[in-house]
């Protein structure tokens, strides 16, 4: 420290000891070596020729020790997952504390985007997306959730109405539309109402926002069952009709087909699939 700072006081402050203790240690070393390492000057220290050579050698030795110690420390593996903002906020992020407790050696990085991410260009290890196989010869696709879309609302909103609602009753509520805009399909395939539902509408660009609006009592939302399962179990939302819209755009966990995928990626894949 004294050699790096060329000042006993600065060296003492960095080590958390007194300036006198540092000066005493240096004097003791000089006495054992039988030569001066520093020239004492009014404004600090200056190396003697022997002191400069000794400092260079000692610095290299300490660098080797630090590197050897650093090499022994366990490395934190980083796994990057690309998901839609809705999947991130409503399904993945609430479960992250559980994963961190189980696997503190793995750091998860979440890339929440509606855009399709490139595994190579964006440095993605895993992605969760809706789609229809095949996804490409270079990708490993595992089914995570089937598309199972249900209608949900706040219990307060439908209080006084007998559930399940029939097609005519839906028109009494605001229907919350997201970018998927599945209300026409839901009305046709689930409610048997070919002409669509003549009901007030609120349009938002993400499913997570329609779920939040439903939680706030602003209308009825359509959402994948797994995204609202916790809210239903907690009584924050209720399913207002027994039917569900089943489609071909299921949710898949995607990864590159590579023998060098890495243990950390395999651990994260297993954890995600266990929650499917």
Domain 2-72 identical in fold to domain 77-146+249-274: no
Average pLDDT, the chain: 87
Is the predicted pLDDT of residue 10 greater than 90, yes or no? no
Q: Are 141 and 254 in contact (CB under 8 A)?
A: yes
Higher local confidence (pLDDT), 1 or 20: 20
Is the predicted pLDDT of residue 231 greater than 80, yes or no? yes
Q: Determine the length of the chain.
A: 276
Under the banding of pLDDT at 50, 70 and 90, the label for residue 93 is very high
Higher local confidence (pLDDT), 65 or 270: 270
**Domain segments of the chain: what residues?**
2-72, 77-146+249-274, 148-246
Give the fold, CATH level 3, of 77-146+249-274. Answer: D-Maltodextrin-Binding Protein; domain 2 (3.40.190)
pLDDT at 212: 97
For 148-246, CATH gives 3.40.190.10
pLDDT at 55: 84
First to last CA, the chain: 55
Q: What is the mean pLDDT of residues 189-216?
A: 90
Report pLDDT digits (tens) over 105-160: 999 999 998 887 777 778 899 999 988 887 777 888 999 999 899 999 999 999 99
Under the banding of pLDDT at 50, 70 and 90, the label for residue 52 is confident
What contacts 207, CB < 8 A, 6 or more positions away? 86, 90, 178, 179, 180, 221, 223, 224, 227
pLDDT at 165: 93
Give the fold, CATH level 3, of 2-72. Answer: Arc Repressor Mutant, subunit A (1.10.10)
pLDDT at 74: 62
Q: Which two tokens stand for residue 149?
A: 């879309």
CB atoms within 10 A of CB 107: 13
Q: What is the mean pLDDT of residues 42-67?
A: 83
How far, in Å, are 134, 255, 266 from residue 261 at the CA level?
20, 9, 7
């Amino acid at each position: 420290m004294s050699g790096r700072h060329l000042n006993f006081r600065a060296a003492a402050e960095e080590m958390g000891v007194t300036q006198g203790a540092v000066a005493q240690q240096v004097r003791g070393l000089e006495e054992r070596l039988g030569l001066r390492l520093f020239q004492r000057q009014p404004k600090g220290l200056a190396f003697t020729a022997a002191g400069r050579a000794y400092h260079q050698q000692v610095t290299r030795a300490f660098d080797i020790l630090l590197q050897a110690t650093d090499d022994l420390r366990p490395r934190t593996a980083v796994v990057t997952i690309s998901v839609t903002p809705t999947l991130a906020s409503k399904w993945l992020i609430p479960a992250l504390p559980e994963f961190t407790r189980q696997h503190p050696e793995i750091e998860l990085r979440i890339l929440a985007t509606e855009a399709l991410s490139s595994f190579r260009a964006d440095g993605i290890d895993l992605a969760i997306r809706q789609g229809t196989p095949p996804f490409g010869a270079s990708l490993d696709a595992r089914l995570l959730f089937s598309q199972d879309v249900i209608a949900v609302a706040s219990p307060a909103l439908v209080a006084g109405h007998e559930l399940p609602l029939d097609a005519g009753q839906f028109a009494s509520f605001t229907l919350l539309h997201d970018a998927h805009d599945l209300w026409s399909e839901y009305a046709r395939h689930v409610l048997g109402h070919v002409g669509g539902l003549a009901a007030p509408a609120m349009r938002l660009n993400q499913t997570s926002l329609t779920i939040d609006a439903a939680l706030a009592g602003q209308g009825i939302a359509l959402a994948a069952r797994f995204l609202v399962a916790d809210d239903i179990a907690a009584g924050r939302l209720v399913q207002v009709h027994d039917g569900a819209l089943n489609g071909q755009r299921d949710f898949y966990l995607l990864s590159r087909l590579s023998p060098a995928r890495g243990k950390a990626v395999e651990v994260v894949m297993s954890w995600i699939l266990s929650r499917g």
